[in-house]
Amino acid sequence: MHKPDERGYFGDFGGRWVPEVLVAPLAEVEKAMNEAFGDPTYWEEFHALLSEYVGRPSALTVAHRFGQPRNATIAFKREDLNHTGAHKINNTIGQALLAKRMGKQRLIAETGAGQHGVAVATIGAKLGIPVDVYMGAVDVERQALNVYLMRLLGATVHPVTGGTQTLKDATNEAFRVWAAQCEDTFYVIGSVVGAHPYPFMVREFQRIVCDDGRIQSQGRFGRLPTDIVACVGGGSNALGIFTAFIDDDNVNLWGVEAAGKGTNTAETAAPLAVGSVGVLHGSRSFLLQTAEGQVKPTHSISAGLDYPGVGPEHAYLKQSGRAKYVAVTDDEALAAFHACAASEGIIAALESAHALAYAQQLAKERGEEGLIVVCMSGRGDKDVTQIEKLDGKALVAEVTG
């Protein structure tokens, strides 16, 4: 299924599970989106910014040394080379242009690690639209650099002090603000999550990743990949690189969740692997929840994958079997991060390192004809301080142990 049905469902998943006050603003976004999607001038402006500002199309790089010895070929789709260092900018440009077209005066966004907040602040600055970002107070402390970046870019960051003071609470606050001020405010959501039409809309902005990638694969290899591998937090980079290949039954699609300390532990962030069906942030999908339906705390080494839910289209692709989902632990991701840096000269984001870890394994199982394209969703500059600390600890343990 390529489009959700009229009620916003991909099979059994998705929909619009929101309080009454959000029904009208969501319907307004949906109407404006449908009009914009049918207007070539809207897409012209989108593609112009992607090429002149983001630097698209991002490269497809053959990884000659990563994961050797192996038989299959591995190539990286380089979203890390985009302006701001990840795929998130593709989506924020699409939504900001829609806001402009709707005559909205302000962009609001939730952010956890701060990556989405920075991407919204960036396009807000570029288009001259004020930006307010809601961020859990704990995350504001933990992600001081991104808070500073958002402020440099002219955005206002609002620390949210309710609940666990993290992403979940920031999202609730952004919804509350939007409900009160939707007249002049556009809510920019950071992944293929939330109520209809967001999961579909965000996917349509991110599918540029595979629209480019398909052409590049044909041009470089004369054929399509055998396998596509992408990490899954909310799931936007994965749907970005999956979508153009959905009808190619012989292209295997792999989504890689964060197992954290292991999917058999409480410290995990893999709802498709070990979650159950429920409602989170306006849509029905898999999530990590208790038997009573309370959202569970999650853990991943990578802030961008540390989310208890997942986009509804992934739930559908899992159920239909079109995509397969696996989980990679913190330690496996960290090892792949180091291997990629040392063998390819690429500092990957810790999120992307999860996809790298699984691709490495797959490349050993596949024969010579295997052609595995990994979505390098972002660059790891943001993660190196954290990794340095982790490695420092490991080093001490080695010496004293």
Q: Which residues bind ligand PLP (CB under 6 A)?
A: 86, 88, 115, 191, 231-238, 304-305, 349, 351-352, 377-378
CB of 401 to ligand PLP, least distance (A): 33
CB of 389 to ligand PLP, least distance (A): 20
Strand (E) positions, 171-251? 185-187, 227-231
User: Residue 173 or residue 351: which is nearer to ligand PLP going by CB?
Assistant: 351
What Cα–Cα distance (Å) separates residue 170 from each residue in 109, 175, 336, 382? 9, 9, 31, 21
User: Residue 100 or residue 206: which is nearer to ligand PLP going by CB?
Assistant: 206
Tokens, residue 377: 């969703």
| CB neighbours of residue 23 within 10 Å | 12
Q: Find, among 98, 117, 118, 110, the residue nearest to 136 by Cα.
A: 110
CB of 181 to ligand PLP, least distance (A): 25
Crossing angle of the two packed helices 198-206 and 208-221, in degrees rounded to 10? 30
| Phi/psi at 272 (5° precision) | -75, -30
User: Residue 182 or residue 387: which is nearer to ligand PLP going by CB?
Assistant: 387
Instruction: In whole angstroms, give the CA distance from residue 69 to residue 156.
Output: 49
CB of 308 to ligand PLP, least distance (A): 13
Dmax (CA) of the chain: 65
Crossing angle of the two packed helices 350-365 and 330-344, in degrees rounded to 10? 80
Query: For the chain, how far is it from start to end, CA to CA, in angstroms?
Result: 54
| CB neighbours of residue 251 within 10 Å | 20
| CB neighbours of residue 343 within 10 Å | 14
Q: Find, among 195, 180, 219, 162, the residue nearest to 311 by Cα.
A: 195
Catalytic status, residue 110: yes
Angle at 375 between CA 394 and CA 247, to 5 degrees: 145
CB of 377 to ligand PLP, least distance (A): 3
Q: Find, among 296, 300, 168, 305, the residue nearest to 236 by Cα.
A: 305
User: Residue 70 or residue 314: which is nearer to ligand PLP going by CB?
Assistant: 314
What is the residue whose two structure tokens read 């990743």? 209
User: Residue 97 or residue 209: which is nearer to ligand PLP going by CB?
Assistant: 209
Catalytic status, residue 88: yes
User: Residue 22 or residue 305: which is nearer to ligand PLP going by CB?
Assistant: 305
Of 30, 79, 110, 313, the active-site residue reads: 110
Of 30, 79, 88, 351, the active-site residue reads: 88
Active site residues: 88, 110, 377
